[in-house]
Structure 1
Amino acid sequence: ETQTKGRGRLGRNWFSPKYKGIYLSLILRPKILPSHTPLLTLMHAVSICEAIRENTGLSCQIKWPNDILIHHKKLGGILTELNAETDLSRFVVIGIGLNVNNDKKTLAAGATSLKEQCKGEINRAGLLQEILRRIEANYFIFQKKGGEPIVEKWRDWNTSLGRRVRVACQKEHIEGQALDIDADGGLLIRDDFGLIQKVMAGDVVHCR
């Protein structure tokens, strides 16, 4: 029902008021290479978008790699943490935070909630059930067929491809046109020198 130390990417705080949002962590034990872990972030983002559309009729967008948007405002996000050996993932923790019945006055600038978008409160239990159902279905696909079907679904929901983006990575900033994501879930960017660069993690800003 709440979190006392909710956090997002790069250790940022995630405000988690009681009885308002959906906050959960899932532990998965996929038999995949550590380099394929970003595909699980994409898979959960797709599952959330599918569940919200089924439950509310709203269409979300996914901003690479982990933000769920509605009308370009942030609805929630996904945090993926990996425990792995050299060539095999031991387990992956998927953290999900969604603004569901949060009041507009409590939301950060640039954020929104399903309550604000639907002009009324949402049944959180029903939405959570649908999210888990979609995750289970997409995880089954991922295990049986690999990442390609998930990547195709992600492309249908994304709002990053085709845009000019700026990505803050650990040691540099990359700016250019977001072209696609590859089979590992990495973002492919054509920079201003015409070079194609692959980004596996970073903060993305849509320039236009």
Structure 2
Amino acid sequence: MMTMLKAMTPRMPRTEHVADHMVAMTQTESTNSLARNLVDADALGLTDGGHGGVPVAVVAADMQTAGRGRLDHTWVSRPGESFTVSFATVAPRAIATDESVNGWLQMIAGLAVLDGLDKAISQCGARPNQPDCSRTLKWPNDIFVHGLKLGGILAELVPLSLSQADDASDASGADDASVMDGASGVGGAGGADNMTDRNMSGESAADGERVAIIFGIGLNLNLSASNLPTPQSTSLQLHVAGLPDGAVMRDMIAAGIVSSLKRRITMFIEDPQGQSAALRDEAAAKSWTLGRRVEAHFVDGGTLEGEAIALNADASLTVRTDDGVEHVVRTADVGVLPR
């Protein structure tokens, strides 16, 4: 008989210490939806400026009932088992809508998740159950362990309201958020066009204009093998022994992600082109996708199968099919096939 834990409001003192603003809920439909509403209401302090880099606000829930993923996938979490946290920050609109570099924004989020996981595991003295227990990135937006999905990331671009624009010299002509569904699941090569058309009203951006970016991150922390949602998924405690309870681990991981996001996004804003090259090398080294046979599923129903051979300068993926033709994949759900 399965016992359902009671949802509790997250206590996250480590995260509160490093974040610029923190909102914790016992239960919500979606932390990304809540974060978006709070951004719209100017309730996250994103225009106040951040300490130690760009501002990063955190919205966490112990349980979410209608979480969303890329391509309309859903994520329903139960109390005490999952990490369901959204991180909101700001970036110049010119960078967020530049298809030559904005694909790296979600790669930054993915690398920040790996940073948070590694730091938390090290801090609590936990140890892997197997010698090779590295955490990797599956293009475009998933966290993998031992070839299994530990979690995923959904990023959304949210135009700041006119009242916020007045405070921060930002002017956006749109009201709705957009899922940034490009090369890396966030904007990216090819994805920025849809995002701009739907949400930026075709206006030119001045250097000082900023937009909010929300990274919704979901991780399986404490699910038993029998409760995993799919055979291709996994949970952290199945690979690492000696972890603290889920509430403590959630706080430790989130604090690490905040610190990493502040550092990485601040550096990216200062030098997008230079950081893109460095991120490409780092993401390629931590990629579960490159060098493996993959199948890309496109929104129009089409598929493409071949070997993932390169992570490109704009964060898109090159797949070589069996006939030797190389295809650049910018917006797709890419699965790694069994060897």
> Which TM-score applies when normalising by structure 2?
0.57
Matched residue, 2:260: 134
Moved over 6 A (4+): none
**Structure 1 contact 160–206 (Cα < 8 Å) conserved:** yes
1:14 aligns with one of 42, 63, 75: 75
Once the two structures are TM-superposed, the CA of residue 204 in structure 1 deviates from its matched residue by 1.2
1:112 aligns with one of 218, 234, 239: 234
Deviation digits for residues 60-119 of structure 1 (CA, Å, limit 9, x no counterpart): 011100110111111100012234424668333211101112333321222111122123
Matched residue, 2:125: none
Larger radius of gyration, structure 1 or 2? Answer: 2
Q: What letter corresponds to residue 307 of structure 2 in structure 1?
A: Q
Distance 1:189 1:156 in 2: 17
Q: How many percent of aligned residue pairs carry the same amino acid?
A: 29
Once the two structures are TM-superposed, the CA of residue 13 in structure 1 deviates from its matched residue by 1.6
Matched residue, 2:211: 90
Distance 2:89 2:322 in 1: 39
Greater Cα offset, 159-168 or 115-124? 115-124
Q: What letter corresponds to residue 37 of structure 1 in structure 2?
A: N
Report SS of the residue matched to 1:62: strand
2:281 aligns with one of 140, 152, 167: 152
| 1:5 partnered with 2:66 | yes
Once the two structures are TM-superposed, the CA of residue 199 in structure 1 deviates from its matched residue by 1.0
| 1:75 partnered with 2:136 | no
Report SS of the residue matched to 1:74: strand
Report SS of the residue matched to 1:40: helix
Q: What letter corresponds to residue 285 of structure 2 in structure 1?
A: D
Once the two structures are TM-superposed, the CA of residue 156 in structure 1 deviates from its matched residue by 1.5
User: C-alpha root-mean-square deviation of aligned residues, in Å?
Assistant: 2.0
Report SS of the residue matched to 1:128: helix
Matched residue, 1:24: 85
Count of equivalent residues: 208
Matched residue, 2:121: 56
Matched residue, 1:182: 312
Distance 1:121 1:54 in 2: 12
Q: What runs of 5+ residues in structure 2 fail to find an aligned partner?
A: 1-61, 123-132, 158-177, 179-195
Q: How does 1:161-200 map to 2 (within 5 A)?
A: 161-171=290-300, 172-200=302-330
Distance 1:183 1:91 in 2: 24
Distance 1:176 1:159 in 2: 15
Distance 2:63 2:103 in 1: 26
Q: What letter corresponds to residue 311 of structure 2 in structure 1?
A: I
Q: What letter corresponds to residue 51 of structure 1 in structure 2?
A: G
